[in-house]
Amino acid sequence: GILQHPDGTVLKQLQPPPRGPREQEFYTKVYDSDCCDSVLLELREYLPKYFGVWSPPTAPNDTYLKLEDVTRKFNKPCIMDVKIGQKSYDPYASAEKIQQQVSKYPLMEEIGFLVLGMRVYHVSSDSYETQNQHYGRSLTKETVKDGISKFFHNGYCLRKDAIAASIQKIEKILEWFEGQQQLNFYASSLLFVYEGSCQATTVRLSDVTLAEKRGVPKRLLSGGDILEYNNNIHVINSTENGKIEASVSKGLSKFYALHKKACAKRHHSQLSLKVENLEQGNVWKSSTCITQEHLNGNVLPQLEKVFCHVPADTKESANVEVRMIDFAHVFPSNTKDEGYIYGLKNLITVLQSILDN
């Protein structure tokens, strides 16, 4: 397994020859301080940083690869390991090895990827749900979309922002593969990580909050009328008349405004909630006078549009990492890695279909 080093890196024990030395050689070549190959220099962007090898003083013959801990910056990291490619065996595999690998997941050639495991944080229960490789191998052409979407569901809603950000990062890796003919990758994976914790999830309406109605643990709540949802909504300012302006993701021209004021001459607990899209003069409005007894009614879908179902084009809104890992079967080549490219394209298609639907 992967061990944690006190300095914050992770340690991956070197596999027996030839796999271990081959993976070490790969990292050494890519991270050579004298490297001037633009293809390899760009590849570094998509890998965990490599800090050489390490051996414990008590067992100097045990060798570990010292790597960046991609999950370190996350509070509640949601993690998924997806093997990429049409073949999980390399060109030098024996007939027995080929049969063994094919029998594990016969659909690998057709689907182009295999979910090896996932760990998803559920806000509602403040706990993790874990799936192992048997889960991934149970997925068919018909169920693989739902199987992948499970990773992006936090118990309340589908994290479309994390999906969109993941797609963008995969597309960058795909661009690299389309432009290189030096290396072919077999039985290699993509590691997906996104922030699962909700720093906040609600708009406070009078003395009742939607989060309380929906059972969000109270420790997730803090003071104020509007709270952040995983950094997707950033409060810009609060004016004297109670208007709060918020932007969805940094650097975007799309803004949402939440207006809170008492409905004139109505019950003191009735509030007006208006959501506006101000982009390029196109205004989408939904305004409802809400009473406490209506909190479980039509307003919830409107709030979910803001807090859960963030538009798919906010690709930089989520804190997401997608890195290539596992390089025990990387070989020199003079052709494009068509099997890996096929897997990346198919994975993008599946993720995009989750967004579109």
Give first-to-last CA distance, the chain, whole Å.
37
pLDDT score for 50: 98
Write down the mean pLDDT value for the chain. Answer: 77
Q: Note the pLDDT of residue 117.
A: 98
The whole-angstrom separation of Cα 111 and Cα 104 is 14
Domain 70-198+318-356 has what CATH class?
alpha beta
pLDDT reported for residue 318:
75
pLDDT value at residue 247: 34
Burial of 223 (0-12, 13-18, 19+ CB in 10 A): exposed
- Asked whether 195 and 77 are in contact (CB, 8 A), the reply is yes
What mean pLDDT comes out for the span 298-308? 46
Q: What is the pLDDT of residues 312-357, one digit of tens each?
A: 444 445 799 999 999 999 999 999 999 999 999 999 999 999 999 8
**Spatial contact of 64 and 3, defined as CB atoms under 8 Å apart:** yes
Delimit the domains of the chain by residue range.
Answer: 1-69, 70-198+318-356
Each residue of 229-284: pLDDT tens digit? 333 333 333 333 333 333 333 333 332 232 233 333 333 333 333 333 333 333 33
Phi, psi of 66, rounded to the nearest 5 degrees:
-100, 115
Q: For residues 276 and 49, which has the higher predicted lDDT (pLDDT)?
A: 49
For the cut 60, the answer to whether the pLDDT of residue 21 exceeds it is yes
**How many whole angstroms separate alpha carbon 47 and alpha carbon 68?**
9
pLDDT at 260: 30
| pLDDT at res. 267 | 39
Nearby residues of 264 by Cβ (< 8 Å), 6 or more positions away = none
State how far the Cα of 74 lies from the Cα of 52, in Å rounded to an integer.
24
The C-alpha angle 228, 170, 156, rounded to 5 degrees, equals 35
pLDDT, one tens digit per residue, over 56-72 is 999 999 999 999 999 99
pLDDT in tens, 80-103: 999 999 999 999 999 999 999 999
Decide: residue 34, CB within 10 A, 0-12 exposed, 13-18 middle, 19+ buried.
exposed
Cα 51 from chain centroid (whole Å): 25
156: left (phi over 0), alpha (psi -120 to 50) or beta: alpha
Q: Which residue has the higher pLDDT, 150 or 288?
A: 150
Q: Tell me: the pLDDT tens digits for 177-218?
A: 999 999 999 999 999 999 999 763 333 333 334 444 444 444
Q: How is 295-331 classified by DSSP, letter by letter?
A: TTTTHHHHHHHHHTS--TT-TTSS-EEEEEE--TTEE
Strand partners, 246: 235, 256
